[in-house]
Amino acid sequence: MIVFAAPWLLLALLGLPLLYWLLRVTPPQPRAQSFPAIELLRDLPVTEESPARTPWWVLLMRLAAAALLILGLARPVWGPGAESEGPGPLLLVMDDGWAAAPDWAPRMAAGLAALDRAARQARPAALLATAPTETAAPPRVLGPMPAADLRSRLLVLRPKPWPTDPHAAAQALSEWRAAHPGPLTSLHITDGLEAALLHGPLTAAGPLSLMRSQERPRRILAAPRAEPDRLHVTLRQTPLPIASQAAVLARTADGRALARAVLAIPPSATEATAALELPLEIRNQVVRLEIENEAGAAAVALLDERFRRRPVGLLPGAEEGADAPLIGDLFYLDRALAPFAELRRGTLDALLARPIAVLVLADRPVAPGREEQLLSQWVQAGGTLLRFAGSRVAERPDALLPVPLRAERALGGGLTWEQPQSLAGFADTSPFAGLIVPAEIAIERQVLAEPSPRLAERSWARLSDGTPLVTAETRGQGRIILFHITATAEWSNLPLSGLFVQMLRRVVALSAGVAGVPEGEAALAPVESLDGFGRAVPPPPAAAAIAAPALESTIPSPRHPPGWYGIPGADSAYRRALNLGAALSHPQPLAPAPPDARLLPLESLPTERDLGPWLLAVALVLLAADLLVSLRLRGLLVWRAAALALALALPAQAQTAPEGAPALATRLAYVVSGDEALDELQRQGLAGLSDFVNRRTAAALAEPMAVVPGESDLAMFPLLYWAISPNAAPPSAAALAALNAFMRNGGIILFDTRDDGSGEGFSPGSRAALRRITQGLAIPALAPVAEDHVLRRAFYLLHELPGRFAGGQVWAARDQDRANDSVSPVIIGGHDWAGAWAVDGRGQNLHAAIPGGTRQRILAYRFGVNLVIYALTGNYKGDQVHVPAILERLGQ
Amino acid sequence: MPSAVLRAEALGAHLPPLVVEAERVASTVMQGVHGRRRAGMGDSFWQFRPYLAGDAAARVDWRQSAKAERLYLRETEWEAAQSVVLWRDGGPRMQWRSHLAEVTKKERASLLLLALAALLLRGGERVRLLPGPPRSFQGRGALPALAEALALAPEASPSAADALPRHARIVMFSDFLGPLEETRAIAAQLAARPLSGRLLQIMDPAEESLPYAGRRRFEGLLGELPAILPRVEAVRDLYAARLAAQRAGLADMAGGLGWSFSTHRTDARPETALLALWQGLAPA
């Protein structure tokens, strides 16, 4: 169906016959011909008139061009949806709560199409978004205003990470109706939630159309439940008549997906659960669960410390001497556990007063009575009690042991024939399965377990002769684990080995997490929020702090958007998550529409196409062809000249330089590492940086390029970025020569090992690779980048130089080489700057910064700007050191 | 003046090809007419004469004198060279060519003029350029200088102010498409000097055949009013008749003055026209 936006212009088609007649009676211009003997031609008798008519095809072409011009100006639109017929202005009601996020694009398209139709009908329009805004303002009606003006207001609308507020919306509507009475046509693009409060007044005022998605279920990721060795994720959705599937992704802080759980949802079910089983070591890295391919804050669950933090309490047999180096009861435990667990010390009462995940009793018997009861209750409630044997425990066994103890035995030594025993490999069913047992481990003494039928299944580790070394028993929701040796090197050398650390890590990882409630009523300020699409963004302006105890019961709102909350200024690692999905109840099925409303599906909205520009373009092409033809008819045109002009008018494709000729524009470059993912990261990083530099500075950088030293010409690049891959091979002789020449002639190479500071251990082996690579390079003596180094003040004043990681050291040449403008030819660091700069095709950052925050990202970009300016201008800003001297001289 | 030097150099840069081409055309004609060894007319021996008092000592032929006891002077034949005046029309009408011809009429006229001049210079004649420097060119080496003078010469018709040797001969290259009366006046004024002459009408093939068709607007090269012809092919015969009448008028005029008249088309070989010209001049 074609509708004309300006149909009265079609009247001009009536003028076409007149045009036809005019064109017909006007003869074409004669062809001109220069001729010397013109005097002989003068006054020759004219015998007959040649048919001086415009050729019929030229006539047809001109008429067609004129007709197309008229049709195009009448702005025909192909296939518009049903015109909203009705009186009065158009009221567009947009639901922009969390439920609108997954299909926001079609909603927006439908809204824009409705406004376009209203604009064609010159009908004023008004807009009502039903969710509170980011500034916590209640919904209000915008308009009425010309529909074209409202378009820009609609375009900035985004789904909110909180529910809509139908009451406030209904109130806003009634206030608006009071000011603008009269007939009204309304279109509600609804998320399907109950909206009778709105529909009543709207149907009373005029025709109402309801546009909603019929097929798509609304899905919510409920709060996950942590179990010792798995995470249970629960998905709630509106029931579907058929079986469906969904997947939940577990992501780390830097955006990597660690695991994917598939949930099968039976027909007409509203809930599905799946377990995310993760290797124990990486379980704690998960900070975010999200439903795959589902945008929206309700599809994201952030995992905070409750799911990760495992405080470990240490209780020695005797307080005095427990920390004595090498012989103290807790010396080795402290060393082994401190890197990955929060350790607490104190009396048993003090330790149990606060939630802890693991309690370690190192050769400490449990006194019967109150102490035993206290511990027993704690274990039943989910605590993990880890005990180490010793002479005291062997003398007085108590009830809180996984197996009854029999005696103590010594293996090896002066008075026994037996040799010290080594450790057998771990069984597959043991939680220690997979750990490598070093051969040099020797157990000289241990306590023996009383033989019992259940001893085998309770043994987690055995000696090579089969005696249990580690036994465990599940009691209630908790566990008791016993190491049949001391936690010191007295009975065995196991505490001296790395295996000990790994075993302890597994034990702690098995324990249930505890919710760490900070002391008192501390207010938690928003650190990072989720937007309506579930992306991490800086907190909106209206976001306010929440008292810690109230966090559990808070329903997300503009004042409290979902996201991370933490104690400002204090321990920045402590964060609590406010999740939208946890606060929402079961999604309701679609609310019934009012009987007199017209229901429109959202998905099958016919697309509109404005044909006007195309018709005008065809008309212009025809007119241009007509110009050529008439020039030709008058002899003013030589075909060859026309072809030449046409060739010149075409885009100069033959002139395009070979792709990425480095001499034509300033551009950054990165050294190809051979690792495709790393190269892509470098490319995206430099693209992001170039974009930032282009926006913020006068430097104009083109797309970054990949270079291979020794093969590519490096002379045109001011800066080479070189992310070191752990398995990088040393460069060839030609590459070394090229790189040395590059540095000698003023180029800068930034080496990035991507493993420094907070990123320690992310790229093991890259430092060795850096040593390999730089062995043949003329690297000058290095020093940490000083506080007054030009690199810190070339554009921004920077005190730290973070990338994706922060806290490491950045190195540059120590001696100022006057020959090279005092510019350091190398900068070496490990902050993974490219990771921080990297943007994808939509301009969004790909990798989360660690420890994180918008500020770190901004600082990373600022370091990049400084780096580029440093590479481009050298020590220009270094001249500032002379400013005091110059000022002094001026003063005299 | 530097600019004059520059202009001269620019002209000189394209002169040699014209001179070479003229020499080539001329040499073919020479062989076709004479077919004999060339002899220097001005150098031929006439007689030995005994030394008389008052003769310059430099004129004594010492070799002859050594054979005898008297002194002898060597006398050469007295030569009175013929002067030939050459004129080439260089007006806008001449700077035109149709799609049927390779060269403009002016280029062909220049070529024929230089080739004729080359022949004449080799024959020892004096060549005068009109309009041009008020001196005659003589000697075989004068051809480049003549070519340069031709390129630099202003475009003008011969006028009474030109000082010309009497009884010289004149060769005029033009298309003679102007009004017959003007041509007649110029020719009569030249014939009264007295000069005997030869007219060569150089025409473009398109000017003879009028190969155009359809509705055309003809525009003159001298700024004349354009003439619009609704069907050119219909008037082709009429045009040919007018052209024939023009030629007849020219031939009559030339005959009346005792001059000769011939035509040449730019798509024909220049050698033919040169041979005819040379033969017309040679018997004199």
**Do the chains contact at A33 and B212, CB–CB below 8 Å?**
yes
The H-or-E segment that residue A848 falls in is none
Question: Is A25 inside any structural domain?
Answer: no
Return the axis-axis angle of helices B105-122 and B270-281, rounded to nearest 10°: 40
For B92, which residue in chain A has the nearest alpha carbon? A36
- Interatomic CA distance for residues A259 and A293, integer angstroms: 15
- Interatomic CA distance for residues A35 and B211, integer angstroms: 11
Do both B130 and B179 map to the same domain?
yes
Do both A475 and A398 map to the same domain?
yes
Q: Which residue has the tokens 């291979």?
A: A708
Do both B15 and B60 map to the same domain?
no
Residue B214 touches chain A, beta carbons under 8 Å? yes
For A34, which residue in chain B has the nearest alpha carbon? B219
Q: What percent of the residues of chain A are helix, what percent strand, and what percent coil, each to the nearest 5?
A: 35, 20, 45
Domain limits at A282?
Answer: 217-309+520-589
**Do the chains contact at A30 and B179, CB–CB below 8 Å?**
no
Tell me which DSSP letter residue A222 carries.
P
Q: Which residues of B touch A49 (CB under 8 A)?
A: 230-231
Q: Which residues of B touch A37 (CB under 8 A)?
A: 175, 177, 207, 243
- From first CA to last CA, the distance across chain A in angstroms is 85
Do both A858 and A758 map to the same domain?
yes
Q: Which residues of B touch A44 (CB under 8 A)?
A: 229, 235, 238-239
**Do the chains contact at B218 and A50, CB–CB below 8 Å?**
no
Q: How confident is the model at residue B237 (pLDDT cuts 50, 70, 90)?
A: confident
Question: Is B121 inside any structural domain?
Answer: yes
Q: Please check whether residue A871 is in contact with residue A718, taking contact to mean a CB–CB distance below 8 angstroms.
A: yes
3-state secondary structure of A81: coil
Region of residue A214 (phi > 0: left; psi between -120 and 50: alpha; otherwise: beta) = alpha
Q: Which B-chain residues 43-102 have CB contacts (< 8 A) with chain A?
A: 93-94, 96
Do both A845 and A712 map to the same domain?
yes
Q: Which residues of A touch B238 (CB under 8 A)?
A: 44-45
The H-or-E segment that residue A530 falls in is strand A523-530
- Interatomic CA distance for residues A399 and A387, integer angstroms: 12
Question: Is A123 inside any structural domain?
Answer: yes
Question: Is A568 inside any structural domain?
Answer: yes
Do both A291 and A426 map to the same domain?
no
Among B207, B215, B226, the residue with its CB nearest the CB of A37 is B207
Residue B212 touches chain A, beta carbons under 8 Å? yes
- Rounded to the nearest angstrom, the gap between the alpha carbon of residue A415 and the centroid of all alpha carbons in its chain is 65
For B246, which residue in chain A has the nearest alpha carbon? A40
Tell me which DSSP letter residue A194 carries.
-
Neighbours of A490 (CB within 10 A): 16
Question: Is B37 inside any structural domain?
Answer: no
Q: Which residues of A touch B239 (CB under 8 A)?
A: 40-41, 44
Task: Report DSSP letters for A861-872, one per residue.
Answer: HHHHHHHHHHHH
- Interatomic CA distance for residues B42 and A471, integer angstroms: 140
Question: Is B144 inside any structural domain?
Answer: yes
**Do the chains contact at B217 and A30, CB–CB below 8 Å?**
yes
Do both A528 and A503 map to the same domain?
no
Q: Please check whether residue B148 is in contact with residue B15, taking contact to mean a CB–CB distance below 8 angstroms.
A: yes
- Interatomic CA distance for residues A862 and B169, integer angstroms: 94
Mutation target vs A (from B229, B247, B250, B265; most A CBs, 10 A cutoff): B229
Question: Is A210 inside any structural domain?
Answer: yes
Do both B18 and B120 map to the same domain?
yes
Do both A158 and A265 map to the same domain?
no
The whole-angstrom distance between B96's CA and the closest CA on chain A is: 7
State residue A79's pLDDT score: 66
State residue A685's pLDDT score: 92
DSSP bridge partners of A414: none
B77-118 pLDDT per residue, tens: 655 567 888 888 888 888 888 888 888 998 889 888 888 888
Do both A385 and A473 map to the same domain?
yes
Q: Which residues of A517-539 are buried (b: 16+ CB within 10 A; e: fewer)?
A: bbeeebebbbbbbbbbbbebeeb
Among B206, B214, B227, the residue with its CB nearest the CB of A38 is B227
Among A36, A45, A49, the residue with its CB nearest the CB of B175 is A36
**Do the chains contact at A38 and B238, CB–CB below 8 Å?**
no
**Strand ranges of the sheet holding A141-145, from the earlier edge strand across to the other edge:** A141-145, A125-129, A90-94, A185-189, A208-212, A598-601
Query: Distances from the Cα of B272 to the Cαs of A243, A702, B262, B275, in angstroms?
Result: 102, 69, 12, 5
Mutation target vs A (from B217, B225, B233, B235; most A CBs, 10 A cutoff): B217
3-state SS string for A250-318: EEECCCCEEEEEEEEECCCCCEEEEEECCCHHHHCCEEEEEECCCCCHHHEEECCHHHCCCEEEEEECC
State residue A305's pLDDT score: 65
Do both A567 and A680 map to the same domain?
no
Do both A698 and A793 map to the same domain?
yes
Question: Is B9 inside any structural domain?
Answer: yes
Q: Which residues of B touch A39 (CB under 8 A)?
A: 177, 179, 220, 224
For B176, which residue in chain A has the nearest alpha carbon? A37
Do both A706 and A809 map to the same domain?
yes
Task: Report DSSP letters for A790-826, one per residue.
Answer: GGGTSSS--S---SSS-S---EEESS--GGGTT--SE
Among B175, B207, B217, the residue with its CB nearest the CB of A32 is B217
**Do the chains contact at A44 and B216, CB–CB below 8 Å?**
no
ipTM, interface predicted TM-score of the complex: 0.72
Domain limits at B24?
Answer: 2-32+80-281
Question: Is B256 inside any structural domain?
Answer: yes
User: Which domain CATH number covers A107?
Assistant: 3.40.50.410
- Interatomic CA distance for residues A299 and A222, integer angstroms: 8
- Residue of A342 and B240 predicted with greater confidence: B240
Class of residue A821 by CB neighbours under 10 A (exposed 0-12, middle 13-18, buried 19+): middle
- Interatomic CA distance for residues A149 and A846, integer angstroms: 35
Q: What token pair was written down for A103? A: 């299909």
State residue A573's pLDDT score: 53
Q: Which residues of B touch A34 (CB under 8 A)?
A: 96, 218-221
CA proximity to A518, closest of A306, A338, A302? A306
Q: Please check whether residue A793 is in contact with residue A880, taking contact to mean a CB–CB distance below 8 angstroms.
A: yes
**Do the chains contact at A44 and B239, CB–CB below 8 Å?**
yes
Mutation target vs B (from A26, A29, A31, A35; most B CBs, 10 A cutoff): A35
Pairing of the two strands A300-302 and A468-475: unpaired
Question: Is B214 inside any structural domain?
Answer: yes
Do both A225 and A178 map to the same domain?
no
User: Which domain CATH number covers A859?
Assistant: 3.40.50.12140
Question: Is A32 inside any structural domain?
Answer: no
Do both A541 and A466 map to the same domain?
no
Q: Which residues of A touch B217 (CB under 8 A)?
A: 30-33
Do both B61 and B184 map to the same domain?
no
Please state the rounded mean pLDDT for residues B6-15.
Answer: 48
Do both B6 and B99 map to the same domain?
yes
State residue A654's pLDDT score: 45
Query: Distances from the Cα of B125 to the Cαs of A340, A411, A850, B27, B281, in angstroms?
Result: 118, 140, 104, 16, 11
Do you find a cis peptide bond into B131, omega within 30 degrees of 0? yes
- Interatomic CA distance for residues B266 and A491, integer angstroms: 123
Do both B66 and B193 map to the same domain?
no
The whole-angstrom distance between B93's CA and the closest CA on chain A is: 5
- Interatomic CA distance for residues A429 and A470, integer angstroms: 13
Do both B10 and B71 map to the same domain?
no
Interface contacts A/B by beta carbons within 8 Å: 85
pTM above 0.80, yes or no: no
**Do the chains contact at B214 and A42, CB–CB below 8 Å?**
no
Do both B64 and B136 map to the same domain?
no
**Do the chains contact at A36 and B215, CB–CB below 8 Å?**
no
User: Which domain CATH number covers B110?
Assistant: 3.40.50
Tell me the average confidence (pLDDT) per consecutive run of 10 residues in chain A, 892 residues long: 74 85 73 82 66 72 88 77 67 85 84 83 85 84 83 86 85 86 83 76 81 78 74 83 84 76 84 77 75 83 71 83 83 83 82 83 87 89 87 84 83 74 86 85 88 87 89 86 90 90 83 54 79 83 80 82 75 69 74 75 68 88 86 66 68 48 81 87 91 90 88 87 87 90 88 84 83 87 86 87 88 75 86 89 77 84 92 78 81 72
3-state SS string for chain B: CHHHHHHHHHHHHHHHHHHHHHHHHHHHHHHHHCCCCCCCHHHCEEEEEECCCCCCHHHECHHHHHHCCCCEEEEECCCCCCEEEEEECCCCCCCCCCCCCCCCHHHHHHHHHHHHHHHHHHCCCEEEEECCCCCEECCHHHHHHHHHHHHHCCCCCCCCCCCCCCCCEEEEEECCCCCHHHHHHHHHHHHCCCCEEEEEEEECHHHHHCCCCCCEEEECCCCCCCEEECCHHHHHHHHHHHHHHHHHHHHHHHHHHCCEEEEEECCCCHHHHHHHHHHHHCCC
State residue A516's pLDDT score: 46
Do both B59 and B144 map to the same domain?
no
- Interatomic CA distance for residues A221 and A217, integer angstroms: 13
Pairing of the two strands A76-78 and A2-4: antiparallel
Neighbours of A757 (CB within 10 A): 22
Question: Is B250 inside any structural domain?
Answer: yes
Question: Is B154 inside any structural domain?
Answer: yes
The whole-angstrom distance between B244's CA and the closest CA on chain A is: 11
State residue B32's pLDDT score: 41
Question: Is A16 inside any structural domain?
Answer: no
State residue A721's pLDDT score: 93
Q: What token pair was written down for A369? A: 């009575």
Do both B64 and B143 map to the same domain?
no
Mutation target vs B (from A29, A31, A40; most B CBs, 10 A cutoff): A40
State residue A149's pLDDT score: 85
- Say which residues have a Cβ less than 8 Å from residue A325's Cβ, sequence separation at least 6: A331
Q: Please check whether residue A529 is in contact with residue A560, taking contact to mean a CB–CB distance below 8 angstroms.
A: no
- Interatomic CA distance for residues A459 and A482, integer angstroms: 10
Residue B207 touches chain A, beta carbons under 8 Å? yes
Domain boundary among B54, B76, B98: B76
- Say which residues have a Cβ less than 8 Å from residue A605's Cβ, sequence separation at least 6: A81, A106, A109, A110, A113, A211
Domain boundary among A510, A528, A544: A510
Do both B65 and B112 map to the same domain?
no
Neighbours of A729 (CB within 10 A): 11
Q: Which A-chain residues 31-90 have CB contacts (< 8 A) with chain B?
A: 31-42, 44-50, 52
State residue A837's pLDDT score: 92
Q: How confident is the model at residue B3 (pLDDT cuts 50, 70, 90)?
A: very low
Pairing of the two strands B126-130 and B83-88: parallel
Question: Is A479 inside any structural domain?
Answer: yes
For B236, which residue in chain A has the nearest alpha carbon? A41
**Do the chains contact at B224 and A40, CB–CB below 8 Å?**
no
Question: How many structural domains compose chain A?
Answer: 4
**Do the chains contact at A40 and B243, CB–CB below 8 Å?**
yes
Do both B56 and B95 map to the same domain?
no
Question: Is A41 inside any structural domain?
Answer: no
**Do the chains contact at B230 and A52, CB–CB below 8 Å?**
yes
State residue B2's pLDDT score: 42
Pairing of the two strands A575-578 and A478-483: unpaired
| Cα dihedral A670, A676, A682, A685 sign | positive
Question: How many structural domains compose chain B?
Answer: 2
